[in-house]
Structure 1
Amino acid sequence: MDFFTAPPPRVQEQEKERENPPWTGPPNDILGGIVPIERMLFRSETLAIVLANAVAFPAGVTIRLQMAARRVEGVNEDTWWDRHDLMFGHHRHRFRAEDSLPDEVVRFGVRFPDGSKATTVDGRTDSGEWPPPCPEGPILKRSRGGSASGDDRSVSSSWSLWLWPLPPPEPFEFAVEWPLYDVPLTFTELDGAAITAAAERAQPYWP
């Protein structure tokens, strides 16, 4: 007779599927409509920032960015690896209302024709409540995921930003600024009509 025996299987109640509110990020059960953009937002000797495309859903849109940096003569090891990590998005910052933004923080934002705007440095945080209370829009936040690779000479990364709600079907502005890399506040016009049309093409994976 065995002394040690396996316990009987645990019977667990099936948990109800928790649906994330649309302002928290893109849905995971819908095929979004793709809008190719392929716009160079900024380029210098050391950095390139490209707005690659947008993936539109009924409630919002994912904006996909590509960034690449290279090490040039005169940049020492410590400086390079600090900048390398920033491309991965490894540095987290906490801001107070009276603080100025550190130069190493990359800033993205949108501005609509009515003057409303949203940025990735608004400082909005999750409340911890569930379901979370609906915030006042618009919201622009970095989505989880993305990818990056690099070495001691160059680094590239892909970032995704979630914009909620869906922008109006008219031109609006996308903004970028990154003082550490000498990126001035730069606005690029995007076609809101193309994004809303793409959202109409979105389709659920299952009926």
Structure 2
Amino acid sequence: MSFFTALTDRDEPDHEETRVPAWIQPSPDEIPVAVPLVRELASAPGAALFLQRADVYSDGIVFVLRLDVRFSSALSPEQRDQLRGLTGFGHQPADIGQELRVGFAFADDSRVDSLGDPEANWDREPEGASLTMLGGGGGGDDHRWTAELQAWLWPLPPAGPADLHFVYGRAGIREGSVEIDLGALVAAAEGVARVRLPDTPSA
């Protein structure tokens, strides 16, 4: 005999799903098309920033960047301490102005920048494009560290060339830009698959 009183239908907790707005993050109900875009964006003593790939959704694109860090003995103690702060085990105070910042200048002369608080637009759809840093993960050891960083661009941009701008002060990466042809990425959205699960489990 159970100690706990049985729940009635009325007692069942409500698990209504909270939908995150499309401009905040990509849909969890889509399988994106991965398009490789491997190129080095910039480097600094002990660090290099790469553009790795684009994960294309029906209404936007996640740009995946990779930061590689090497704690070389050729670096000064100050440089090593600064880079170790990137791993989360350092003691540097947070400074949003020194974090990774990316932006786009599109063929139609519109622009978008990742700086800003996406939560501020939770209840209000942006008038133009939105670029949100999704975070990522990292790992390594005493000699090296690698991190994946993601930026969600919503909605799908205009096809054609665009300039990707970047700067990462904490990693010593100075401001720079590269040109990307968005035409192939926009076209790849046709291949996105939907996640369709049955409402009830099979008997």
Instruction: Tell me which interval the TM-score lies in, with the shorter structure as reference length.
Output: 0.7 to 0.9
Deviation at 1:116, TM superposition (A): 1.9
Residue deviations 1:64-118 (CA, integer Å, cap 9, x gap): 1111011232432x75344223255996446xxxxxx3xx332211111233222
Partner residue, 1:115: 109
Q: Distance in 1 between matches of 2:15 and 2:85?
A: 38
Matched residue type, 1:58: S
Matched residue type, 2:85: D
Partner residue, 1:156: 146
Partner residue, 2:137: 147
Partner residue, 2:119: 126
Deviation at 1:165, TM superposition (A): 1.2
Q: Distance in 1 between matches of 2:190 and 2:94?
A: 36
The 1:89–1:151 alpha-carbon spacing in structure 2 relative to 1, beyond 3 Å, is closer
Task: Answer yes or no: is the 8 Å Cα contact 1:49–1:68 preserved in 2.
Answer: yes
Structure 1 unaligned blocks of 5 or more:
95-100
The 1:19–1:125 alpha-carbon spacing in structure 2 relative to 1, beyond 3 Å, is closer
Deviation at 1:18, TM superposition (A): 3.1
1:193 pairs with 2:203: no
Q: Distance in 2 between matches of 1:89 and 1:114?
A: 42
Equivalent pairs: percent with the same residue? 23
How do residues 52-201 of structure 1 correspond to structure 2 at under 5 angstroms? 52-72=52-72, 73-76=74-77, 80-87=80-87, 92-93=94-95, 101=97, 104-121=98-115, 123-127=116-120, 132-144=123-135, 146-201=136-191
Matched residue type, 1:155: W
Partner residue, 1:39: 39
Specify which structure has the higher proportion of strand: 2
Q: Which 4+ residue blocks in structure 1 deviate beyond 6 angstroms?
A: none
TM-score, normalised to structure 2, is 0.81
Task: Answer yes or no: is the 8 Å Cα contact 2:161–2:181 preserved in 1.
Answer: yes
Q: Distance in 2 between matches of 1:202 and 1:19?
A: 20
The 1:74–1:56 alpha-carbon spacing in structure 2 relative to 1, beyond 3 Å, is closer
Partner residue, 1:98: none
Residue deviations 1:161-200 (CA, integer Å, cap 9, x gap): 1011111111111111234444332111111111111111
The 1:88–1:68 alpha-carbon spacing in structure 2 relative to 1, beyond 3 Å, is farther
How much is the aligned-residue C-alpha RMSD, in angstroms? 2.8
Structure 2 unaligned blocks of 5 or more:
198-203
Task: Answer yes or no: is the 8 Å Cα contact 1:88–1:148 preserved in 2.
Answer: no
Q: Distance in 1 between matches of 2:163 and 2:89?
A: 23
Aligned length: 192
Q: Distance in 1 between matches of 2:82 and 2:140?
A: 12
